[in-house]
Chain A
């Protein structure tokens, strides 16, 4: 049996179909993030959309979002992550869910 060699994260996300909306459905308040020590979103987001920056802030990408809601639920600071559904017809399109 060949052991499971995991694909790169980029290849992993390339298996998912996204119809990217012109505007972001996630907003992140960088000032709040700079004071955050847990950075739970960085770990928990299954699409790995949140990346810590050298200055302690967060870079994020909304384009490959599963729209699950994990980020705003694990975030323990009110207002740091604002999240709503992307506009109709855009966003993730699962085919084998």
Chain B
């Protein structure tokens, strides 16, 4: 048995940010990691947006183990034979303070955990938290681990144990836990020579590209992604679990389809598979988040469902870091005031509500349903691609169609009811407007 002020479970971005904050405040903090090193259990869809690190680790971009700085950001809409892309690039994102980088989680997560260790946190790897410890009155007071005599007593537990969060479930905080709010991300990392990646994606130096793809997963709601590392490209899909369960198709088949799409194949062709990986993503957002606080315990990062999957915005690491740091601050406050009950820890939620973490999630709370509905997934991509095809197909001697009229015709030709289209437009306006 060991005793700490706080035990943080999971040395991903949320846990390391929490441990860093607490160690700096002078608290004794254990940072548990079940993998042999931080990041060993983690994979993601490609970009760390580091602005949140400006306050936590000033000058972070001088030393972060990045692969490339994203200067090209594309959103693609696909049908099996068409693609329509909004392709944005800016040189501004390629110089300090940068906007986002691609990175390997084994390196990034280990780097961030190292910052917590430098500040005085005790990182304990290869150790799985097997459950919550409770005192005689039933109040949470630490965690049990799978190490002999490895249980840890603490006045506060911060659960950053990822999307499956067995600790949050054990504490009864997950009321909405179901496949309905979860997607599966599956990814291939493909090796290509660095100059070949530069050439295919139009990049130089440390510049990187990040593509988000809609309409590439057939009958299963989801999406695709493609991004560049230094000498690998990563390509993957995100699949809504309830539909995947009945689709009678396997995850890697969806990746193969995406890789073989005429708009994607030239970017990834010939790449040698270096690693295949998969992970679940909590996509439900604000409406299905677990309770974030209970007596003696806080939940942060994916464990708290804080991934932002809002179509044009796909973020998670930044939400994890911000929520972890806020949990660390709230735990420190509670310890100072000698009240680690839910009331004493309530500053955590207030901090999140004042920051982008819950403000973005609240504003975008309709996005998960909107993005995953079959019209957004299949009908609208086809309408958009067909419309552009109409506009750019020259049918001389016929004159050019009017844009609005062509749009109307494509919408009527689809099986979308106008009532639904109008409602979706209104939802989109309320969400993204």
Interface residue ranges, A against B (CB under 8 Å): 1-4, 6-7, 9, 11-13, 15-16, 19, 38, 40, 43-44, 46-48, 66-70, 73-74, 76, 84-89, 91-97
Tell me the nearest residue of chain A to B278, going by C-beta: A46
Asked if B26 is at the interface (CB within 8 A of a chain A CB), the reply is no
Stretch of B176-184, B380-388, B404-412 that contacts chain A: B176-184
Contact of B245 among A38, A47, A48, A86 (CB under 8 A): A38
In the complex where A48-B250, A73-B182, A94-B39 touch, is A4 in contact with B260 (Cβ < 8 A)?
Answer: yes
**Does B34 contact A4, Cβ atoms closer than 8 Å?**
no
Contact of B184 among A3, A68, A76, A87 (CB under 8 A): A68
**Does B275 contact A96, Cβ atoms closer than 8 Å?**
yes
**Does A92 contact B163, Cβ atoms closer than 8 Å?**
no
Roughly how many angstroms separate A47 CA and B280 CA in the complex, as a whole number? 13
How big is chain B's contact interface, by range?
35 or more
Asked if B133 is at the interface (CB within 8 A of a chain A CB), the reply is no
Residues from chain B with Cβ under 8 Å of A91 in the complex: 34-35, 41
**Does B277 contact A16, Cβ atoms closer than 8 Å?**
yes
In the complex where A12-B276, A46-B252, A74-B244 touch, is A89 in contact with B104 (Cβ < 8 A)?
Answer: no
Could you tell me the dominant secondary structure of chain B's interface residues?
A: mixed
**Does A7 contact B164, Cβ atoms closer than 8 Å?**
no
Contact of A2 among B250, B270, B280 (CB under 8 A): B270
Roughly how many angstroms separate A14 CA and B35 CA in the complex, as a whole number? 19
Chain B 242-278: CB-based contact to A (< 8 A → 1; otherwise 0):
1011111111100010011000011011100111111
Asked if B79 is at the interface (CB within 8 A of a chain A CB), the reply is no
**Does B270 contact A95, Cβ atoms closer than 8 Å?**
no
Roughly how many angstroms separate A67 CA and B279 CA in the complex, as a whole number? 8
**Does B244 contact A43, Cβ atoms closer than 8 Å?**
yes
**Does A89 contact B270, Cβ atoms closer than 8 Å?**
no
Tell me the nearest residue of chain A to B104, going by C-beta: A96
**Does A96 contact B273, Cβ atoms closer than 8 Å?**
no
